[in-house]
Structure 1
């Protein structure tokens, strides 16, 4: 967020009082004209030395897809391991920095926010900000402890809530439209958004269609698109299929997507189609650096995370 300071011309005319009335009158007229025009001076949100090193200031946002994909306990275990790997890589980065150069943060988001307030409280425990004056010796173990234990608690609460009301879906499209710029992008940091998802997007509050493009994609819709043939990509191009761009101007955001999995045994191209939908969508919104990875063993994903971060 940039701060704007309004500067007037008043200080330019503070001189000695030894002036003629005519001169003072002329200066007064000029001053009045100048004060009518506001000069906007853009001031960065952080110190200049931090802005100069912005690529070394990590801002990691983790968006969790708490839809029915987490029904299986093994998905909870995988996601928890992925999240812990992110925290470890974040802390490895912190260890290498001098105390005076700390300007890094990591946090977790959901969309929509769960009704269960306990889930939101737990998510707040995962909001960690390292700035000048913070003790690395104290905070690094605390960060690892939180990211080791809290994610599994969040998933348990989300699953228990779903037994009563069902999953409302994960509004990933809405998160990009309404929140990604405010929550995940800062001027003085390198902004990385990590999304844990199976690749499908659906939320009843954001079901939009514009010609052949949509704000959602479900296994059923993927089947209805009839892309079960070797020419599936050309059909996507010819029919202009894909996600509707939720926003634009995301050039300062890097995106890592983990866990994309079609689970469609009848369409051998489903996985590639899902990844194409995401790739085209991110590109349309301005994202320049991204990586899309299918579900894999946490031990294999560690290297992917380390390389990207």
Structure 2
């Protein structure tokens, strides 16, 4: 075997890995495939000819996990006590990057990304946030070997160190937020903040040897909010139509409960629909590609012991408004979760939502 063929073989081997031809296969099989491709004679089709053929299509799915904290006064656990804080929620997900998420139905070619997108984007400068620390992106690697060295801690930058840096920076930002709180307009965030910088769209397909390889993404938005939407616009300006508003404050929840009780209606959802209650839907086509997991809805109507003080409870009303809102805003998929008590519970909820077992 001459030197030129060795170089070509190395190139073909890396090409196989990048295209996913060796997913779940020993490297020896990849070498055999590379030799076969390299040794084909005049009977083989050229790369350009293969591009024009319609053959098998293989979808490679990658995760784009976005943590979106609202950093409102809810992060103050003295004001709104919770069993877990946002740092613990984020950390429980980061700890599952490897092996759970990266190896889910894959062994090579991961392009997963884990990042933070603030509901109030002005806080990046206000809190002097280092966005580079809040980003773990596996698409940065040129080949699978670099990716593995990073995961296994055999390179200058390592996954373990980046997870630690991510968690520390996120904790620092949350600590600042507890002492210097700003509002969080979740409505505006879903309407305009979820954009092409947040959402990963399907890459241009690669056609190789008659097979089409598509790199697709599951955009999972973990929205860290309590369910009460403080839009900063109230009264007539905040409600362009009767009972249709841009916000869902604690006061509005109380008003809906009172109106429902006074009506004598037995079914809350029917009353909601018949009287055209709701949150004004957002118009954002990117949401059609986003799966939203809302953590954690905080029920202000419960006593300190966790008992209901009124019926229907705040959580029941919040879920009714949010479900209607997200569906009419064409969100791809969503789940609304109440307070959780342990990191193990968070892990189970998030992994189940992502379909990672």
**Normalization by structure 2: what TM-score?**
0.64
For structure 2, list consecutive stretches of 5 or more residues without a partner in the other structure. 1-56, 203-216, 303-308
CA 1:85–1:280 in 2, change beyond 3 Å: closer, same or farther? Answer: same
1:257 aligned onto 2:291:
no
User: Distance in 2 between the 1:173 and 1:217 partners?
Assistant: 10
Partner SS for 2:85: helix
Please say which of residues 169-178 and 141-150 is displaced more in the overlay.
141-150
Runs of 4 or more above 4 Å deviation: 73-77
Structure 1 residues 305 and 263, CA, compared in 2 at 3 Å: closer, same or farther? same
1:228 deviation in Å?
Answer: 5.4
**Equivalent position to 1:303, from 337, 348, 354:** 348
- Indicate the residue corresponding to 1:53 in structure 2: 59
Give, in angstroms, the shift of residue 129 of structure 1. Answer: 0.6
Count, aligned residues: 252
In the aligned structure 2, how far is the partner of 1:118 from the partner of 1:75?
Answer: 26
RMSD (Å), alpha carbons? 2.5
Which of these residues, 166, 180, 203, is aligned with residue 231 of structure 2? Answer: 203
Residues 1:275 and 2:319 aligned together: yes
Shift in CA distance, 86/193, structure 1 to aligned 2, threshold 3 Å = same
TM-aligned CA deviation for residue 305 of structure 1: 0.8
CA distance in 1 between partners of 2:267 and 2:283 (Å): 29
Using the alignment, how far apart are the partners of 1:288 and 1:268 within structure 2? 31
Superposed counterparts of 1:213-224, under 5 Å? 213-224=244-255
Matched, 1:119 2:127: yes
Q: 1:109 aligns with which of 103, 117, 125?
A: 117
Distance 1:115 1:180 in 2: 16
Provide Cα deviations, 1:136-180, integer angstroms capped at 9, x if missing partner.
223321233134322221111112223xxxx3x111111111121
CA contact (8 A) 1:62 1:193 kept: yes
- Secondary structure of the residue aligned to 1:268 is coil
User: For the Cα contact (< 8 Å) 1:107–1:128, is it kept in 2?
Assistant: yes
2 CA distance for matches of 1:119 and 1:75? 24
User: Quick one: distance in 2 between partners of 1:181 and 1:90?
Assistant: 24
Higher helix fraction (1 or 2)? 1
What pairs up with 1:185-204 in 2 under 5 angstroms?
185-188=199-202, 189-204=217-232
